[in-house]
Structure 1
Amino acid sequence: MDRREVAAVLAYIGRLDPRTIPAGTGDARDQIVQWQELLDDVPFATAHGWDVREAVRAHVLDSPYPILPVDIARKWRAYRRDRLDRHTDPTPAADPDNPASWRTELLGTRHAVATGMAAPSSHRRLTGSPHPDIEARLAAVGSSIPSAVRAALAPYRPARAAREAAVDAGRPDALSVPCQWCHAAKGEPCRSRRLGLDGHARGTAPRTRPHPTRVDLAMAELAR
Structure 2
Amino acid sequence: MDRREIAALLAYIGRLDPRTIRTDQGEARDQLAQWHELLGDVPLATQHGWDARIAARQHIRISPYQILAADIARPWESYRRDRLQRHTDPTPSVDPDDQAAWTAELVDARRAVASGSAQPAHHQQITSRGSNPELEARLREVGSCIPPEARAALTPYRPVRAAREAAIAQGQPDTLSVRCEWCHAQVGEPCRRRRIDRDGYARGNAPRATPHPGRFDLAAQQAQPALA
Q: TM-score, normalised by structure 2?
A: 0.60
The verdict on how the C-alpha distance between 1:4 and 1:90 changes in structure 2, with shifts beyond 3 A counting, is same
CA offset at residue 209 of structure 1? Answer: 8.4
Q: Indicate the structure (1 or 2) with the bigger Cα radius of gyration.
A: 2
- Within 2, Cα distance between the matches of 1:118 and 1:165? 56
CA offset at residue 7 of structure 1? Answer: 2.7
Where does residue 119 of structure 1 map in the other structure?
Answer: 119
1:79 match: secondary structure: helix
The verdict on how the C-alpha distance between 1:51 and 1:112 changes in structure 2, with shifts beyond 3 A counting, is same
Where does residue 197 of structure 1 map in the other structure?
Answer: none
Where does residue 90 of structure 1 map in the other structure?
Answer: 91
Contact persistence 1:80–1:114 (CA under 8 A): yes
Aligned AA (2:7): A
1:131-210 to 2 correspondence within 5 Å? 132=134, 135-157=136-158
CA offset at residue 39 of structure 1? Answer: 0.3
Where does residue 21 of structure 1 map in the other structure?
Answer: 19
1:14-93 to 2 correspondence within 5 Å? 14-16=14-16, 18=17, 21-22=19-20, 24-26=22-24, 27-60=27-60, 63=63, 65-85=65-85, 86-93=87-94
RMSD: 5.2
- Within 2, Cα distance between the matches of 1:113 and 1:157? 48
CA offset at residue 76 of structure 1? Answer: 1.9
Q: Determine if the alignment matches structure 1 residue 9 to structure 2 residue 39.
A: no
CA offset at residue 61 of structure 1? Answer: 5.3
CA offset at residue 145 of structure 1? Answer: 0.9
CA offset at residue 136 of structure 1? Answer: 4.1
The verdict on how the C-alpha distance between 1:67 and 1:173 changes in structure 2, with shifts beyond 3 A counting, is farther
1:38 match: secondary structure: helix
CA offset at residue 70 of structure 1? Answer: 1.8
Aligned AA (1:49): G
Unpaired segments ≥5 residues, structure 2: 196-201
CA offset at residue 135 of structure 1? Answer: 4.8
Contact persistence 2:175–2:211 (CA under 8 A): no
CA offset at residue 192 of structure 1? Answer: 9.1
CA offset at residue 210 of structure 1? Answer: 9.3
Which sits farther off after the overlay, 135-144 or 148-157?
A: 148-157
